[in-house]
A and B are shown apart, each in its own frame.
Chain A
Amino acid sequence: MELLLDVQNLSVRYRPPGGGDVFALQGANLQIALGQIVGVIGESGSGKSTLAASVLALLPVNGRIDAGAVVLQGTNLLELERDELERVRGSKVSLIFQEPGVALHPMMRVGAQIEEVLRAHGGQSKGERRKTVRELLDLIFGGEAERIYFSYPHQLSGGQRQRIAIAQAIVCKPKLLVADEPTASLDSVTRREIIELLKKLQRERGLAILLITHSAELLEGFADRIVVMYAGQIVEEGDAKRVLKTPRHPYTEALLKCRPTLRGSEDVRKHERIPVIAGDAPDSSARSKGCAFESRCAERMKICCEREPELFEIENGGTVRCFKFGS
């Protein structure tokens, strides 16, 4: 399988002006093949958004790359100059954010905003750009495309805005789309529509997708592989079905249990308290000696607070960062 994206041992730190470095990402390794869909599950503070931003080398002002590389089809993006990066972003790899309302310019018509991306990557005349965008909107919106082309963001619903953001991201036909919580601010029905759109794009354009989310169920039936993050580290990785069905890492297990699901003949289990993960999300400025999840883990052992576990391989090509599976 041809490798599209190879994140190698990436470590990122934030230095806020008030002091107190935050180690947002620690030694992350991630590989995405052409046309593959990889889901990253993580909660606040897990480093998932930092990972997403790093893939496009888009860190905020106080972010620093401590180590590692982001290799996109042979080129390490972290070593590129600014203008080279501008050429790569939007045309080879794209990013969409959580809040589509915030990601669109309030004073420009959405059609024009999509054309801006085309214009930035050159080559087409104004007329050609308009045609390309209209066709893309037809694909995404069908009958309403005409009206939507001339609309302003505040005239559109949340789902429509996110679709515009997706249009902007794919108009230059990138190979990889990074989606950082694209459906978090949308309701469940719209959420599904967006996922269906992404599925369609993957099918028809061979688009590889890196989907970052805190909702595991979003990835079900959609992702090929799943990566689970906690406190800046990857704690589990493997085939999507396997991870969702039989999670190995205690955190993954506990996280998947937190979600009240409704399944077929299962009882709704009304009023039963939902099993929670004890304790609070980790403070990412602290670095402990042992496993980051140890203090909240139901299965912790003595070795867990002495050493930090590495990623141990398990059957079927997955990895787990837990002493239950190696030492």
Chain B
Amino acid sequence: MRYLLRRFLHAALLLAGASVLAFLFTSLAPGNYFDEMRLNPQISSETLAALKAHYDIDKPFAVRYAVWLKSLARGEMGYSFAYNAPVAPLLAVRARNTLLLTITSTLLAWCIALPLGVWSARYSGRWVDRVATGASAFLLVIPDIALGLGLLIFAVRTRWLPTGGMVSVGSEGMPFAAQLWDLLRHMILPVAILVLGAQPILVRHVRSAVAEAQEEGFVRAAAAHGIQRRRLLWRYALRAAANPLISLFGFSIGALLSGSLLVEVITSWPGLGPFLLEAILARDLYVVIGGVLLSTVFLVAGNFIADVLLFWADPRIRTE
């Protein structure tokens, strides 16, 4: 228990530190949102000055940070210059879209990688393993962008799948079931790209962790007691392979918000990635900071969840 509390405190401190750094670095970047406006001759310098004062642009770092913290407490996370609205709701919508994609693809990727990896380890050296390893290597070599564009071209050519966006035009008017189906159809392409991109690494890790566990003394001893091979694989070897795999799973969770930027851009998925990109280019300060912080939350949470799972799975950590 104390162990978990310590990890939690650790995570909280990490977040606080991350927020300061995010703030600092974005502030250090030259320019601000209003620089664009300065170039516009229709906006007078007084208006500009008033706007700047209103948004505390020129105040010292500490003051701005304090104001932002207050805004955080209110649940707003600052104000977007471009959208003229509080940041939080903007990020929420985008984050939800991204999570829809990434949670689905992460779950799918793991559900495929686990059995594939276990079978690869079980039939290590034989054709099942060679095919799986070869396919993994092939996928690993292809850059994500090539994969994405390749599948996009496939979608365009065959017209089986929508080629972008999250929902079809005019979908709000459809009945719920039809809306859902429409959404799913739009998800197929980005999810496929994400899953294919993640497969090689996951399968390799599962395979090597299980293969190593299979060599362990306790598996041999259990075999000597006549325990069936199938059980040895799933109940003994896989369980022992849990540690490294749980850490990997933590990374998967950590990347839920940040791992899909490329895919979102390619498939025009209205997620957090493109939104943040836009905000960075426009110097929409608080959106950027909010986005960075949100990603950090997931990263830290991923780590923490991994710690919790490790604690639950490995009795040796529990009794330390």
Question: What is the interface of chain A, defined by CB distance below 8 A to chain B?
Answer: 56, 58, 82-83, 85-91, 94-97, 99, 102-109, 116-117, 120-121, 152, 154-155, 165, 168-169, 172
Contact = CB atoms under 8 A, between A and B. Distances in A.
Interface stretch (B47-55, B65-73, B170-178, B312-320): B312-320
Contacts of A56: 224
Contact of B217 (A91, A103, A108): A103
Contact of B225 (A99, A120, A154, A155): A120
B223 interface: yes
A176 B220 CA distance: 19
B41 interface: no
Tell me which of B221, B227, B229, B235 has the highest count of chain A C-beta atoms within 10 A of its own C-beta: B221
Tell me which of A56, A86, A96 has the highest count of chain B C-beta atoms within 10 A of its own C-beta: A86
Contacts of B224: 56, 58, 89-90, 94-95, 97
B225 A105 contact: no
B216 A102 contact: yes
Contacts of B222: 105, 116
Given A99-B217, A102-B218, A152-B316, A169 B225 contact: yes
A199 B224 CA distance: 22
Contacts of B313: 107
B319 to A, nearest CB: 7
List the 6 closest A-B pairs by CB distance, nearest first.
Answer: A102-B217, A90-B226, A103-B221, A90-B225, A89-B226, A95-B224
B240 interface: yes
Contacts of B221: 95-97, 102-104, 165, 168
Contacts, number: 88
A120 B242 contact: no
A89 B223 CA distance: 8
10 contacts: A58-B223, A89-B223, A90-B227, A94-B224, A102-B218, A103-B220, A107-B314, A120-B225, A152-B319, A168-B221
Interface string B298-320: 00000000000000011110010
A209 to B, nearest CB: 15
Given A99-B217, A103-B218, A117 B226 contact: yes
Interface in B212-247: 216-218, 220-229, 231, 235-236, 239-240, 242
Interface in B58-106: none
Contacts of A108: 239
B225 A107 contact: no
A85 B236 CA distance: 19
Contacts of B240: 105-107
A117 B225 contact: yes
A152 B315 contact: yes
Contact of A120 (B216, B220, B226): B226
Contacts of A168: 221, 225
Nearest to B224: A95
Contact of A105 (B226, B236, B319): B236
Contacts of B223: 58, 89
Nearest to A121: B226
A178 to B, nearest CB: 9
A120 B216 CA distance: 20
A87 B229 CA distance: 12
A58 B229 CA distance: 13
A290 B218 CA distance: 40
B216 A107 contact: no
Given A116-B222, A155-B319, A105 B227 contact: no
B315 A120 contact: no
Tell me which of A82, A91, A168 has the highest count of chain B C-beta atoms within 10 A of its own C-beta: A168
Interface in B267-294: none
A95 B223 CA distance: 10
A94 B129 CA distance: 32
A120 B218 contact: no
A276 to B, nearest CB: 32
Contacts of A106: 218, 240, 314-316
A5 to B, nearest CB: 16
A86 B226 contact: yes
A198 B231 CA distance: 29
Contacts of A165: 221
B320 to A, nearest CB: 10
Contacts of B229: 82, 86
Nearest to B320: A154
Given A103-B218, A105-B239, A120-B226, 6 more contacts: A90-B226, A95-B224, A97-B217, A102-B218, A104-B218, A116-B225
B226 A87 contact: yes
A154 B319 contact: yes
A117 B218 contact: no
Nearest to A180: B224
A105 B315 contact: no
A159 B201 CA distance: 42
Contacts of A99: 217
A309 to B, nearest CB: 34
A155 B319 CA distance: 9
B226 A107 contact: no
Contacts of A155: 319
A82 B232 CA distance: 14
Contacts of B236: 105
A154 B317 CA distance: 11
A219 to B, nearest CB: 22
